[in-house]
Amino acid sequence: MSHALLKKIDASGVYFLPAPRRTAIAQAAKQLHFVLLGVEIAEQSNIEKTLRQLGTAFGFPIWYGANFDALFDCLTDPDWLPAKGHILLINGIARLRNADPDDFATLLEVLQAAAEARRATQTPFWVLIDAPARGIPTLAEA
């Protein structure tokens, strides 16, 4: 995995990351001094459980309301985990897609909006999911 790609602010966003490439991403994040956070969506998850899991795994503040607006607010808060860059690995995302396709689509929209807002702050912000999804590109190997 090229460190140069992860430093490209204008390319950062939401991507599908095939499992064999996860180790390379973790190594690159460490070398770049990016914050790397992961979460495993639990079996039988609905959107409420998923949002709570994201808040816990990502260390959101106590005021996090476990809803889409609060997720966006926390992800775009400049005081949330200051770093040179962020990489969020979301595993088990297909569980939510299978349980509730509409909430899955909304979650992806919120994550994409947060990534776009973070690009404006000139901080690389990557959300990498473990399952293909319509409209979500696969992370390039370059």
- Domain architecture of the chain: domains with CATH: 3-129 (3.30.370.10)
What residue spans of 2-67 are helical by DSSP H?
3-7, 22-32, 47-57
Contact 74, 80 (CB under 8 A): yes
pLDDT tens across 26-80, in order? 999 999 999 999 999 988 779 999 999 999 999 999 999 999 999 999 999 988 9
Burial of 120 (0-12, 13-18, 19+ CB in 10 A): exposed
Contact 99, 71 (CB under 8 A): no
43 Cβ contact partners less than 8 Å away, ≥ 6 residues apart: 92, 95
pTM of the model: 0.94
At position 104, the amino acid (one-letter code) is F
pLDDT tens across 11-38, in order? 999 999 999 999 999 999 999 999 999 9
Cα–Cα distances (Å) from 137 to 64, 66, 99, 133, in that order, read 29, 27, 22, 8
Q: Taking the CA of residue 108 as centre, how many other CA atoms within 13 Å lie in the half-sphere pointing to its CB?
A: 22
